[in-house]
Amino acid sequence: MTASRWSDLDRPPLRRQALSAALTSGPDAAWRVIDVVAETGSTNADLAARAAAGEPAGAVLVAESQVAGRGRLARSWTTPPRAAVIVSVLLRPNGVPGERLGWLPLLGGLAVVDALSGACGITARLKWPNDVLVVEDGMDGQERKVCGVLAEAVPGAAAGPAVVLGAGINVTQTRAELPVPTATSLRLAGASTTDRDTVLRAYLRALAVRYRAFVATLGDPQRSAVAPDYRAACSTLGRQVQVQLPSGLVDQGAAQGVDDDGRLLVLIGDQVRPFAAGDVVHLRRAAGPA
C-alpha cells in the first residue's frame, strides 16, 4: 500500500494553494507562480530547463524531497521527505551588469539569515560565500551548516538572461539523518518553529525584498545594502581560513573583508588576495595562554 502524504504527522506536506494565495496574489505579490512537487532530482535543474524554454521571471519551485540535488563544487545533496525547505526561484535581472550578478548567491544567503532571525528566533551567520550557519543547542558552541545556497546562470535562455537561485534549509532532520557532523537542522538548533510553511514563506518574502532593492539599484551592492549587511552577518571575516580552490590548490590566511565584487579578501603573507570562488574552511582560533 502506498504511504499517505500524511503518514508522518511530524512532517506534514506543504499546501501549494495556501502558499500561492499568500505569496503570488495582491498588489505587492512577492512571486508570480509557486509549484510544489512531491519529489524531483533537482529543483535548480528543473527550473533551469523551464527558463531555457522561456519561462518568465518570478517562478518558484518547491520539492518535498530531492534525490539528486547539487551543492557548490558539484557536491550531491539529498534530504529525507518533508524534512527540509527545498526551493528554487527563477530570476531575470534585466539591466543589472553581468559583473554584479555574483552578488546573487550572497544575497540569497542573506535572505535566509533574515528569515531565520525573524521567523525562527535564532541567530544565523554566513560562511563565505553562501553557507548559513547556526549554533546547535547544548553542543560545543561551534557553528554548523543549516543551509546552502546555489546560484546558476542559464546559458542561452529564451527571453533574456536568467539565473536560478536554489536554497536548501535543514528543518527537522535528526542528528542521524544529517550527512556530515558539520551540518545541523533548525530543530537541533532550538528554533522557535520548525513549521516548513512558516520558514518557506519567511525566506521567499525576505528574498523578494532583497532582490527588488538589488534590481532597483542595478545591482549596486552599497545602495541596495547587500554589501554592508552581508559583511555584518559574515562569520568568516576576522578568522583564519583555508580556501580550497576549484583547481585543487589550497591557500591559508586571515579573512579580512568582502570587496564590492563579493570577493573574499584574505591576507596571505604580506599580500591581500581576492578570491571569487573557493571552498572556505574556518580554522579554530588559536588557544590563549593557560
Per DSSP bridges, beta strands 279-282 and 264-268 are: unpaired
Q: What is the pLDDT of residues 168-192, one digit of tens each?
A: 999 999 999 998 889 999 999 999 9
Cβ atoms 135, 121 nearer than 8 A: no
Q: In the chain, which residues fall in CATH 3.30.930.10?
A: 16-232
Task: Answer for the pair 43, 61: CB distance below 8 angstroms, yes or no.
Answer: yes
Going by pLDDT thresholds of 50, 70 and 90, the confidence category of residue 290 is very low
Phi, psi dihedrals of residue 236, rounded to the nearest 5°: -70, -35
The percentage of residues in the chain with a pLDDT greater than 90, rounded to a whole number, is 79
Distance CA 194, CA 97 (A): 38
Which part of the chain is CATH 2.30.30.100? 237-282
User: pLDDT tens digits for 199-248?
Assistant: 999 999 999 999 999 999 999 999 999 999 999 999 999 999 999 988 88
Instruction: Please report the pLDDT score of residue 8 as a whole number.
Output: 61
Summarize the confidence of residues 110-128 as an average pLDDT: 97
What pTM did the predictor assign? Answer: 0.91
Angstrom distance (rounded) from CA 131 to CA 128: 7
Residues 237-282, CATH architecture: Roll (2.30)
What would you report as the CA-atom Rg of the chain, rounded to the nearest whole angstrom?
19
Q: Give the pLDDT confidence score for residue 70 in this predicted structure.
A: 56
Q: Characterize the bridge pairing of strands 33-37 and 59-63.
A: parallel
What CATH number was assigned to the domain covering residues 16-232? 3.30.930.10
Please give the backbone phi and psi of residue 240, each rounded to the nearest 5 degrees, phi first. Answer: -75, 130
Q: What percent of the chain has pLDDT over 70?
A: 90
Say yes or no to pLDDT of 3 above 50. no
